[in-house]
Amino acid sequence: MPNISSNLAGIRSPNPFWLASAPPTNSGYQVMKAFDAGWGGAVWKTLGVPIINTSSRYGAINYRSSRMVGFNNIELITDRTLADNLREIEEVKKYFPEHAVIASLMVESRAEWHQIVKDVENAGADGVELNFGCPHGMCERGMGSAVGQEPSVLETITRWVKEVAKVPVIVKLTPNITDITEPAAAAARGGADAISLINTIQSLMGVDLDTFVPTPMVDGKSTNGGYCGPAVKPIALNMVKNCAQDPDVRIPISGIGGIENWRDAVEHMLLGASNVQVCTAVMHYGFGIIREMIPGLENFMREKGFEKLDDFIGKALPNVKTWENLNLKYKVIADISAEKCIGCQLCYTACEDGAHQAIALPKNGNRVPEIIEGNCVGCNLCSLVCPVEECITMVRKDDGKKHESWKDYMAADKAPTTFNDDRAGGKGHWVPEPAAALKR
Ligand SMILES: Cc1cc2nc3c(=O)[nH]c(=O)nc-3n(C[C@H](O)[C@H](O)[C@H](O)COP(=O)(O)O)c2cc1C
Ligand code: SF4
Ligand code: SF4
């Protein structure tokens, strides 16, 4: 049986699945229920001077038959008193000493940071997470993402916390910034033991076409909120990868964003996250999703021959390069399986109007389109559009012997440098004459 026990910067938990700081970690009752269901750790709903929330406060993007593909909130930090939260942290730790309880914190002054760190340590917290990520409400008060967007301020506050903290300090980053590695490196400079990312992405969910009020609506008005859920996973993965590859960061990463199942979690870990945190999926489906995540991870590890998490953490990183290093001699083209094709011809429309006019409609009365090999640039679009799994596959056409990247082209003076350069990649590629569009 693979060993899935986790260690993030010295914080141990029975598995790498933690609840992110959010409504599911609002109370001891919820955290106990989650641990009982199998979660390995929980980052408590952010503690600070308690706030007053709005009603309503959530919005969602439903896409076709899928609900909450993207989720948004304008909720602030805890609205419960510190005393209540500390008492419940202490109680949870008594029942679950082996599980990780992390106190997420957000206060203002150095004295307040010092005090609250001591308070949560006394309550038994295994670590603290500094919430420099919240992109709504709290940032208007100079906290949350207002700190995360100012690397020097983030570094200073991290130092304040490290002056007193005896437990590991995680800095939670905001994605609402041009280059995530800057605050990540600032956290490392400030002495953080780990970083976690991403917090939510600033967003406006949509506008009611009758009332002209965006959602979520609060008495006829709205405000920007934070976006999360499955839709944000690609953004989170890219930021986790950027931090994991940056030589100025080099501290463990807790991956957050769009994780709904063990596969999503493994993807975060392959790109460098030591463990993961989950929010929206639990808000949608409940704590029970952990019952599929643990055996899913164990099966994956067994199948691949991994004995412990470290065997695969970061394993995808060597496969992510800058564009200039990709092999321009690698060639694939689309191939349609006549047996699987249902003749919907969505691929034809996509390639004809949105790509390279490389799919022809059949003339023989059947509905299976044909790839015009000479025109296909191997962009993938038709295979992504096709509703039948494995019906359009991308088939390799080069012999695999040559590797030439943009970098090589530049070095060998083979890259186009003028507007009408004959060395342009599309030179000689067949495209219909403009007027042909009107004759169809
Ligand atoms: C309703 C709601 C409240 C949240 N509150 C907090 C919070 O108090 N502190 C915090 O650090 N992050 C908070 N988050 C952000 C989550 O911890 C997490 O970073 C984000 O939702 C991305 O993960 P997900 O895609 O799994 O939801 C909140 C998210 C939601 C949806
Ligand atoms: S999209 Fe797929 S199923 Fe539809 S016609 Fe093209 S190949 Fe066939
Ligand atoms: S891979 Fe791109 S260019 Fe080739 S047939 Fe499909 S959509 Fe057209």
DSSP codes of every residue in 37-59: HT--EEEEEEESS-----SS-EE
Q: Which residue positions in the chain have pLDDT lower than 70?
A: 440
The dihedrals phi and psi of 113, each to the nearest 5 degrees, come to -60, -50
> Do the beta carbons of residue 79 and residue 52 sit within 8 Å?
yes
Q: Is the C-beta atom of 233 inside 6 A of ligand 1?
A: no
Ligand 3 lining (C-beta closer than 6 Å): 333-334, 350-351, 355-356, 358-359, 371, 376-382
Identify whether 56 is preceded by a cis peptide bond (ω within 30 of 0). yes
Residue nearest to atom 3 of ligand 3 (CA): 376
Query: Three-class SS of residue 18?
Result: strand
The residue whose C-alpha atom lies closest to atom 23 belonging to ligand 1 is 257
Alpha carbon of 380 to ligand 2 centroid (Å)? 13
pLDDT given for residue 296 in this prediction: 98
Which pLDDT belongs to residue 146? Answer: 86
Tokens, residue 104: 């997420």
Q: For residue 386, which ligand has an atom nearest its CA?
A: 2
Domain range summary for the chain, segments of one domain joined by +: 6-319, 323-438
Q: Which residues contact 158 (CB under 8 A, 6 or more apart)?
A: 130, 169, 171, 186, 187, 190, 191, 192
pLDDT of residue 365: 82
DSSP 260: -
At 350-359, the pLDDT tens digits run 999 999 999 9
CA angle 82/27/143 to nearest 5° reads 50
Q: What is the pTM of this model?
A: 0.97
Cβ neighbours of residue 328 under 8 Å, at least 6 residues apart? 404, 405, 406, 409
Rg (CA), the chain: 25
pLDDT at 133: 81
Note the pLDDT of residue 136: 81
Q: Is 369 helix (H, G, I), strand (E, B) or coil?
A: coil
Q: Give the ligand at the shortest distance from the Cα of 382.
A: 3
**Ligand 1 within 6 A of 145 CB?**
no
Question: Which pLDDT value is given to residue 428?
Answer: 84
pLDDT at 29: 98
- Angle between the N-to-C axes of helices 110-122 and 82-95, in degrees from 0 to 180, rounded to the nearest 10: 30
- Residue 396: strand pairing partners: 332
Catalytic residues: 134
Rounded to a whole number of angstroms, the distance between the first and last alpha carbons of the chain is 62
In this prediction, residue 157 carries a pLDDT of 96
Q: Is the CB of 200 under 6 A from ligand 1?
A: yes
pLDDT number for residue 191: 98
Residue nearest to atom 2 of ligand 3 (CA): 379
Q: What distance in Å separates the CA atoms of residue 249 and residue 320, rounded to the nearest whole number? A: 17
Confirm if 262 and 297 have CB atoms less than 8 A apart: yes
Token pair 């509905």 is found at 367
CATH architecture, domain 6-319: Alpha-Beta Barrel (3.20)
For residues 192-216, b (16+ Cβ closer than 10 Å) or e, as one string?
Answer: bbbbbbbbbbbbebeeeeeeeebbb
Ligand 1 proximity of 73 Cβ (cutoff 6 Å): yes
Whether 334 lines ligand 2, by a CB cut-off of 6 Å, is no
Q: CA quadruple 85, 91, 97, 99: dihedral positive or negative? A: negative
Cβ–ligand 1 contact at 252 (below 6 Å) = no
Q: Which CATH class is domain 323-438?
A: alpha beta
**Ligand 2 centroid – CA 335 distance (Å):** 11
pLDDT at 419: 96
